[in-house]
A and B are shown apart, each in its own frame.
Chain A
Amino acid sequence: MSTKVLHVLYNDDDVLMDAVKTTRAAHHHIEEVYTPFPVHGLDKAMGLKPTRLAICAFIYGICGLSFATFMMNYIMIQDWPQDIGGKPSFSYIQNMPSFVPIMFELTVFFAAHLMVITFFLRSKLWPFKKAENPDVRTTDDHFLMEVALHGSEEEALEFFRNTGAVEVKVIDKH
């Protein structure tokens, strides 16, 4: 079973933004939009949900902080509490100021790296991944909107030509 999609190309981001709004108003389902650069406000116009990546990063940061605290409490206080240059190793809080730089760095390290890895996983990006680019021009100076085709092909073609598209194609998607 093959489904048909429309590839609608624009060469201006303002036109694209208007087109996205009219398309949504006409209840066409936008599958994807390919742009060469981030278009400010496009996600809102498309009605995409806000990202939760920042929440992830916050949780990862707390993990990093806990890890640093646990690690240094175990090594410096529990396992072998040596007297190193007179620093008080009787309890964690007593020697805490000297641990803060590590606690801070590990918090940032965990938050940053795990968030990036989360981003890669969620957006399915890795080395040797086959590029999913429907049209090479979308990385240069064209904007492509992929819309699911339901009902009459002619009507849809007519509708999208009126949105300021420079090119509208019907594609068989397998």
Chain B
Amino acid sequence: MYTFSGKLKTFSIILMALGIVGIAYGFLTAPKTIEEVEVILSKQHHGHGSHDAHAAPAHGEATAHEANTASHDAHAATTTAVSNDSTVHVADSTDAHSAHAEVATPAHAEANAHAAKADTHDAHAEHTKHLEHVLHQLQNKPWAAVYVGCIFFMLISLGIFTFNQIQYAASAGWSPVLFRVMEGLSAYLLPGSILFFLMLLASSAHLNHLFIWMDADVVAEDTIIQGKTGFLNIPFFLIRAVIFLAGWNIFRILSRRNSLALDETGDLSYYKKNFKLAAGYLVFFIITESIMSWDWIMSIDTHWYSTLFGWYVFASFFVTAVTVIALVTLYLKNKGLLEYVNTSHIHDLAKFMFGLSIFWTYLWFSQFMLMWYANIPEEVTYFIFRIEEYNLPFFGMLALNFLLPILLLINTDFKRLSWIIIMAGICIIVGHYLDFFNMIMPGTVGASWFIGAAEIGSVLFFGGLFIFVGFSAIAKAPLLVKNNPMVEESKHFHY
């Protein structure tokens, strides 16, 4: 029997507290108005002395324009002042610019100023549109950060449960000694699903702009999304989410209940029930998983579609799930709690980590290469945007998810060394977090991405909650299943 150690409990609570602070900071610092966005942008641009296209029409005109635009509004003053001024070049604050511009006003009011005004007016409209766009992205940023963390950990627990069910359906002889670790960790599925469903409700209530197809104004102008509203509409979307999340949780609760009943009674009918349940679950899972990936991830990039996306998402969270099982097993083994787990069990988990990493890469590459090769504009923009704006996370995750695991875990002896598995495991978990980041962020925050307080906070919060719920559940039952017909074989498993 495992008791949830006080240290780990405190640790997970600290993680959650830090996470909440980070998330709250993200939400509080998100800009609320266009003016704030402007300040942020001007800070970014001044630093480099470079300018956006929207400032170009104003650039190079006589100082007179400056006067007109300056009186027009604070924003235009900023752009013009910077573009054609040599005296107050690249000042720190917007105030300094407007002040300067106002001083210039009376002196330079010329006739040709009108034409210039019209010019800057267009530029200004365009610029306002751009600012609004950036505002939406920056307002989305903390939401998207929480969304990534939320779906990532929820899917990890789903992956752990799926792995458990595959072991049942395959009547695996090696893994029953690990069943309680899997059952415990997958307990996060329930709170994770509830939090995730709340996220979906928040999006449906238009608290954020994570899903553009939920925005009636966007859909009204977008014939492509209009064609998809038969599937992508809020009521149907929420109904599907309820069916999927409830379905998974019901299967998990029943499976856990049978497993505990088998422990107590030794009645093998519970084992048979679990076997049938697992077979049914796997059918249910693969259908719902596929639709889930369209709903919760692919629909963020509403104009884009990919047929193997469901498999790709599955591979991503499944390999992370196996990695989490391996790391927690090593932790418990290290505390001397898993008497019958030997290096052969660890070796098998490491083989799964290795094989599934390559499986993920295969799907990643298949999806990427097919679109890259055909280069059809409606498909390939998805990757062009990621390569241009997310270059480091996009290719960095390939190193973390493929290169490092394949080199670290190819050696048989290495697959038995705890520290190698922990290193490879951290690479895989970080890499697949980045994978979800790359799937969700470009469609929600675009080029305004940054891994800052909100992103890290969200990982800490959900990670802490995962540890808290997972280890509490592990502490609720003995760590070795009893009366399972495969458990004797598993105890003596040797590879």
Taking beta carbons and an 8 Å cutoff, which residues of A are in contact with B? 54, 58, 86, 97-98, 100
Of the candidate stretches B3-11, B23-31, B368-376, the one touching chain A is B368-376
Secondary structure class of chain B's binding surface, majority of residues: helix
In contact, A58 and B410 (Cβ under 8 angstroms): yes
Roughly how many angstroms separate A141 CA and B320 CA in the complex, as a whole number?
Answer: 47
User: A54 contacts which chain B residues (CB < 8 A)?
Assistant: 412
User: B369 contacts which chain A residues (CB < 8 A)?
Assistant: 97-98, 100
Taking beta carbons and an 8 Å cutoff, which residues of B are in contact with A? 365, 368-369, 372-373, 375, 410, 412
Roughly how many angstroms separate A97 CA and B370 CA in the complex, as a whole number?
Answer: 9
Asked if A97 meets B375 with Cβ closer than 8 Å, knowing A54-B412, A58-B410, the reply is no
User: A100 contacts which chain B residues (CB < 8 A)?
Assistant: 365, 369
B370's nearest neighbour on chain A, judged by CB, is: A97
In contact, A86 and B375 (Cβ under 8 angstroms): yes
User: A98 contacts which chain B residues (CB < 8 A)?
Assistant: 369, 373
Could you pull out 12 A-B pairs where Cβ atoms are within 8 angstroms? A54-B412, A58-B410, A86-B375, A97-B365, A97-B368, A97-B369, A97-B372, A97-B373, A98-B369, A98-B373, A100-B365, A100-B369
User: A97 contacts which chain B residues (CB < 8 A)?
Assistant: 365, 368-369, 372-373
Closest 10 pairs between A and B when the two form their complex, measured CB to CB = A97-B369, A97-B372, A98-B373, A100-B365, A100-B369, A97-B373, A97-B368, A58-B410, A86-B375, A54-B412
Roughly how many angstroms separate A97 CA and B373 CA in the complex, as a whole number?
Answer: 8
B410 smallest CB distance to A (angstroms):
7
Roughly how many angstroms separate A82 CA and B368 CA in the complex, as a whole number?
Answer: 23
B412's nearest neighbour on chain A, judged by CB, is: A54
B102 smallest CB distance to A (angstroms):
51
B409 smallest CB distance to A (angstroms):
13
Roughly how many angstroms separate A54 CA and B413 CA in the complex, as a whole number?
Answer: 12
Roughly how many angstroms separate A14 CA and B434 CA in the complex, as a whole number?
Answer: 52
User: B372 contacts which chain A residues (CB < 8 A)?
Assistant: 97
B289 smallest CB distance to A (angstroms):
27
User: A86 contacts which chain B residues (CB < 8 A)?
Assistant: 375
Roughly how many angstroms separate A58 CA and B407 CA in the complex, as a whole number?
Answer: 11
A94 smallest CB distance to B (angstroms):
11
